[in-house]
């Protein structure tokens, strides 16, 4: 059968289109006959491929062309095909033009957390330290729906969820470290969101330091074997020796103190013969 009416191209391929977006391609109808042709109708077999509006019927003179457009708007992931049917009084009464395209899932936005690790350093047991984390969104808005810490010694302060960060913008949250005992601590802060890498995590580190008293004194002008360190909880109370062996240095770290207490310290010098000197003057120390 002679094809008096033809389409160019004879197949419209849209390629990959993100779900929720659209792409438009042109389609040209050509009257290849030596007579007039009347186009009575044009339709798409799938609503995902939408045709431009035409005032039909439309008469094409011999050799005349008619420009129209097809818009592809995928609603789900995957390959889709359909047909555009052009009805006319041409010898080929129905011109069939294949259309196809592939829907792709929209790329998810990214959540950036800075710094890579939140380092609190040394924090005395019973006190707190607060640092700030910076959050930013790239490629779209990010909504954080859940935020949790793997340790009760690290906690997020004052942020209500959900928290939405606009694309290209930044937000900040405060994190508090409250060590319950001495030693190195580590935890993970987890962010559940609609971002690509959800859940994202942030490493938290800090060291709890127990309170202690660092004592030092001036060396004796006499020749001595070492020193003893005494402590009391009252200026006029009984003093107890802290060191089990002579302290040959002129310093001593008392790591057996408790929070909220006040202590009094005295030292003595011990000669090579074992004779111990009288107490030195006392030093008062308050532990926060």
Is CATH 3.40.50.720 what the domain over 5-104 is classified as, yes or no? no
Which CATH fold would you assign to the domain 110-209? Answer: Immunoglobulin-like (2.60.40)
- Does the predicted TM-score (pTM) go above 0.85? no
**Position 285 pLDDT exceeds 90:** yes
pLDDT at 282: 95
Q: What are 223-274's pLDDT values in tens digits? A: 999 999 999 999 999 999 999 999 999 999 998 998 889 999 999 999 999 9
Q: Mean pLDDT over all residues of the chain?
A: 94
pLDDT at 1: 56
Q: What are 53-110's pLDDT values in tens digits? A: 999 999 999 999 999 999 999 999 999 999 999 999 999 999 999 999 999 988 889 9
Percent share of the chain, pLDDT over 70: 100
Find the mean pLDDT for residues 133-139: 95
Percent share of the chain, pLDDT over 90: 89
**Position 160 pLDDT exceeds 90:** no
pLDDT at 258: 85
Find the mean pLDDT for residues 161-190: 95
Which token pair is 90?
């041409």
pLDDT at 259: 81
Sheet of strand 65-72: strand arrangement: 5-8, 23-31, 65-72, 49-51
**What single string gives the DSSP state of each residue in the chain?**
----EEEESSEEEEEEEETT--EEEEEEEEE-SSS-EEEEEEEESSTTEEEPP--SSEEE-TT-EEEEEEEE--SSSEEEEEEEEEEESSSSSEEEEEEEEEEEPPPPPEEEEESSEEEEEEEETT--EEEEEEEEEESS-EEEEEEEES-TTEEEES--SSEEE-BT-EEEEEEEE--SSSEEEEEEEEEEESSTTPSEEEEEEEEEE---EEEE-PPPSS--SEEEEEEESSTTS--EE--SS-B-SSEEEE----TT-EEEEEEEEE-TTSPBPPP---EEEE--
Find the mean pLDDT for residues 197-211: 94
Find the mean pLDDT for residues 134-158: 95
- CATH class belonging to 213-286: mainly beta
Q: Kindly list the domain boundaries of the chain, sorted by start residue.
A: 5-104, 110-209, 213-286
């Amino acid at each position: 059968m002679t094809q008096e009416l033809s389409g160019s191209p004879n197949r419209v391929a849209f390629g990959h289109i993100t779900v929720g977006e659209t792409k438009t391609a042109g389609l040209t109808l050509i009257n290849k006959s030596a007579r007039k042709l009347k186009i009575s109708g044009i339709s798409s077999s799938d609503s995902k491929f939408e045709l431009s509006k035409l005032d039909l019927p439309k008469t094409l003179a011999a050799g005349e062309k008619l420009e129209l457009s097809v818009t592809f708007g995928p609603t789900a992931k995957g390959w889709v095909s359909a047909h555009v049917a052009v009805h006319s009084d041409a010898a080929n009464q129905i011109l069939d033009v294949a259309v196809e395209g592939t829907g792709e899932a929209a790329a998810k936005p990214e959540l950036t957390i800075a710094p890579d690790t939140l380092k609190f350093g040394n924090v005395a047991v019973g006190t707190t330290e607060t640092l700030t984390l910076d959050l930013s969104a790239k490629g779209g808005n990010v909504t954080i729906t859940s935020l949790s810490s793997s340790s009760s010694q690290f906690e997020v302060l004052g942020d209500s969820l959900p928290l939405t960060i606009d694309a290209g913008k930044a937000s900040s949250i405060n994190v508090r470290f409250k060590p319950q005992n001495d030693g190195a601590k580590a935890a993970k802060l987890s962010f559940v969101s609609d971002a690509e890498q959800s859940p994202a995590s942030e490493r938290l580190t800090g060291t709890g330091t127990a309170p202690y008293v660092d004592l030092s004194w001036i060396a004796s002008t006499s020749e001595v074997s070492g020193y003893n360190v005494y402590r009391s909880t009252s200026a006029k109370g009984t003093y107890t020796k802290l060191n089990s062996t002579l302290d040959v240095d002129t310093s001593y770290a008392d790591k057996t103190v408790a929070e909220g207490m006040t202590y009094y310290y005295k030292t003595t010098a011990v000669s090579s013969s074992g004779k111990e000197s009288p107490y030195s003057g006392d030093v008062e120390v308050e532990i926060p």
